[in-house]
Amino acid sequence: MRPESAGAKFRCEATLERELRARGFHAIAGVDEVGRGALFGPVVAAAVVLSPDRPVRGLNDSKQLEPERRETLSARIRERAAGWAIAAVDAATIDSVNIYQASRMAMRLAVSRLDPAPDFLLVDAMSIDLPIPQRPLIQGDARCHAIAAASIIAKVYRDACMRVWDRVFPEYGLAGHKGYATPEHCKALDQHGPSPLHRLSFAPVRALSRFPVDDDPQMDLFQTAGAR
């Protein structure tokens, strides 16, 4: 099924989940990824099956929430959801297969780890190569509770990873910008060069690599994707 087109602003709600339950689906998973536009580290995906009996109030696109609110909601989602799972694909794999395919890979892994196994997928913006009925939704994290929940726990998990890596590579300021192409990060790259966990297939990193990097045009796919 093709993604729906973007057009109007959306309210984040559970309408789609209710409609699917009325059609007989029981384990409806929201799936989303974060970190697609970053220059450093993994892309992270999460899959969440929310419980209709234990709702989580305040769900919305993770990018629209303050960090403290994301942390609170992430804990509630993990506690109240019928099931949730997280998966990450590292920078080396991103460089090997391109960021788009790596994002889909992370999503597939997250879905495969879900318990209960989902019988329908609501996916942010793209389809996943799995034999499960699914519906890609443009701006899904801003309009669907299940996808918003996935975006929140993925974002909180990846941000925590960046704080850990900041202690290993303090010269890049990862705890602040989370690996995205901020002026601070680009300046640090210019001064110190890329670390082993930077994405060499992304042009700003490749240009500063101390070693030759093959310029494969496919690797430029989605390198300018919005920070998430």
The mean pLDDT of 71-91, rounded to a whole number, is: 98
* pLDDT tens profile 138-189: 999 999 999 999 999 999 999 999 999 999 999 999 999 999 999 999 999 9
Residue 154: what pLDDT?
98
What is the fold of 15-165?
Answer: Nucleotidyltransferase; domain 5 (3.30.420)
Q: How would residue 5 be classed by pLDDT, with cut points 50, 70 and 90?
A: very low
Confidence of residue 80 (pLDDT cuts 50, 70, 90): very high
| 214: confidence class by pLDDT, cuts 50, 70, 90 | low
Residues 6+ apart with CB under 8 A from 150: 29, 30, 31, 32, 45, 46, 47, 48, 84, 110, 124, 141
Nearest CA-CA partner of 178 in 193, 197, 196: 197
Given pLDDT bands bounded at 50, 70 and 90, which one contains residue 212? low
Taking 50 as the threshold, does the pLDDT of residue 3 lie above it? no
- Two tokens, residue 154: 């993925």
- Calpha distance 35→62 (Å, rounded): 12
For the chain, the structural domain boundaries read: 15-165, 170-219
Lowest mean pLDDT among 24-28, 64-68, 181-185, 209-213: 209-213
Q: What is the rounded average pLDDT for all residues in the chain?
A: 91
Report which of 136, 7, 153, 22 is spatially closest to residue 86, judged by C-alpha positions. 153
Closest alpha carbon to 202 in 23, 21, 35, 19: 35
The pLDDT of residue 9: 65
Residue 16 pLDDT > 60: yes
- 214 or 95: whose pLDDT is higher? 95
With 0-12 / 13-18 / 19 or more C-beta atoms within 10 angstroms meaning exposed / middle / buried, residue 193 is middle
Work out the average pLDDT over 8-30.
91
Q: Which residue has the tokens 């443009």?
A: 138
- Sole residue written with tokens 């994301």: 70
Pairing state between β 83-89 and 28-34? unpaired
Classify burial at 50, counting beta carbons within 10 Å of its beta carbon; exposed 0-12, middle 13-18, buried 19 or more: buried
| The pLDDT value given to residue 111 | 98
pLDDT at 222: 43
- Report the pLDDT value the prediction gives residue 61, as an integer from 0 to 100: 87
pLDDT value, residue 209: 87
Give residue 16's Cα distance to chain centre: 21
**22 has a pLDDT exceeding 90:** yes
